Every structure is written in structure tokens, then in C-alpha cells.
Amino acid sequence: MSDKTVKKWINAGTTSVSNVLLMHYKAVGLTDQDLVVLIQLMSLVDQGQSFPDSRLLADRLNVSREEAYKAIHKLMTKKLVTIETSTDEEGITHDEFSFELLYDRLIRLLDQQDQQEEEETYILDSKELYRLFEQEFGRGLSAMEIQTLDMWLNDDQYAPELIELALREAVLSQVYSLKYIDRILLTWDKKNIRTKAQVEKETKRHRQQADKQQKDETDTEDKPVPMYNWLKEQQRD
């Protein structure tokens, strides 16, 4: 490759195309042909042609000028490309192509996908939660118990992870009761406990208090440290 060719290559510049566009162009209504037209138009804008003549696009696409104009109009009809007009200090107006609508459409698409993924994960967590309760209780849940779980998830907006931790506390205390678990959740809610780390910190504090109480009482020297009774906590409140 000659030096002249290398310089020509470098002077031509580079057009950066987002991978988000390449992965989701069909989802925003673009065909393969539309994508090629869009990328060529972006390339011309990147090279300083803010409002390139349709002839320049036609040469790149190897089509007639009329076909190039129709291709641009198609992108504008799909509300992915717009023409913005501005006025400089001398009062002269300038037109330029804008791809803001395209970027907005892609951002909304990503937001919708994230929301859908969160909803699907929530559904999976909920199903796993029901299975976990049945496993720990050693039986199927009654209609009333299922309704209670639904209320925790949908009305009280407790995270599935938080409910699972409350179940673990009940199991450790050998109290297989949704009423007991509800008291745990209410206690945590009053103390603004929302995460696993906060639960572990609170539980550790209770365990330390119980351990200290055992050491202070000489008549409980050989007894194990009792699990924390969350019902007592609720009664004090």
C-alpha cells in the first residue's frame, strides 16, 4: 500500500456506529436497506456534510438521485431522522440532519427490555418463593397462605428476598407460622430494613444480645443461646 493510499485512507475518517443500533435496528422499524442508508447518511454528517446533497448519498449507494431522496424521506417518515434548522449570528439559516429521534427510540427500547427482564425475574422469584415455603413447611400451602404471600408481594411490596429471610428466621426458631413471619416483616418494615445486609446486621445484634444475656445468667450456663422471639419485639412496639 502506497503512502498516498494510506493518507487517503486516514483522511477519509471513521464513522462510529453504536452496537445498540446494529443489534436492534429491526426493532425500531428499519430494514436492512434502511440501515445502509442511515449509516451512509451518518458517515456524510461525520465528514462535515451536516446537510449533504442527495447526489452525494446517491453516489455512495449507487442509485439515482431520486432514489436517494426517497430513501431519506422514508427515514423521516419513520420518524428516525429529522431536518433541524438553525440561524447563525449573521441571520443565515442552516439545515442539518438530526438523529435524535432514532437515539430516543433506541433508549426507550432498552428501558422497556430492562423493565421486562425485571418483571420476568420477579415472577421467577415469586414462584421459587412459594416452592421454598412448601419445602420448609413440609406440605402444600393453603389458599389462605397463598393469599398472604400474594399480599406480601403485591400489596406490601416486600421483596422476595426479604420474605425468604423472614422465613429463615422462623425456621431457625422452629415456628412454622405465617403469622410469625408477618410479625418479622412488620418489625423490619418499622426499622426500615430492606436489604439482606441490613437483615443480617439486625439479626447479628439480636444474637449478641441473647449471648450476653446467657453469660450474665449463671443458671443458663449449659443452655444453648435461644433464637430471637420476633413476637416479643412486636408486643413491645
Could you tell me the CA-to-CA distances from 58 to 40, 44, 69, 70 in Å, in that order?
10, 12, 8, 10
- Provide the domain count of the chain: 2
Indicate if 78 and 176 belong to the same structural domain: no
Query: Closest Cα to residue 193, out of 151, 234, 158, 149?
Result: 158
pLDDT of residue 67: 95
Indicate if 8 and 62 belong to the same structural domain: yes
Q: At what angle do helices 32-46 and 54-61 cross, to 10 degrees?
A: 130
Indicate if 123 and 62 belong to the same structural domain: no
Tens digit of pLDDT for each residue in 220-235?
555 555 555 655 555 5
Amino acid in position 145: E
Rg over CA atoms, the chain: 32
Tens digit of pLDDT for each residue in 68-104?
999 999 999 999 999 999 888 888 898 999 999 999 9
Which of helix, strand or coil describes residue 85? strand
Q: Does 112 fall in a domain?
A: no
pLDDT band at 11 (very low <50, low <70, confident <90, very high): confident
Indicate if 152 and 84 belong to the same structural domain: no
- 190 lies in which domain range? 117-236
Which of helix, strand or coil describes residue 87? strand
Whichever domain contains 37, its CATH number is 1.10.10.10
* pTM > 0.85: no
Q: Does 105 fall in a domain?
A: no
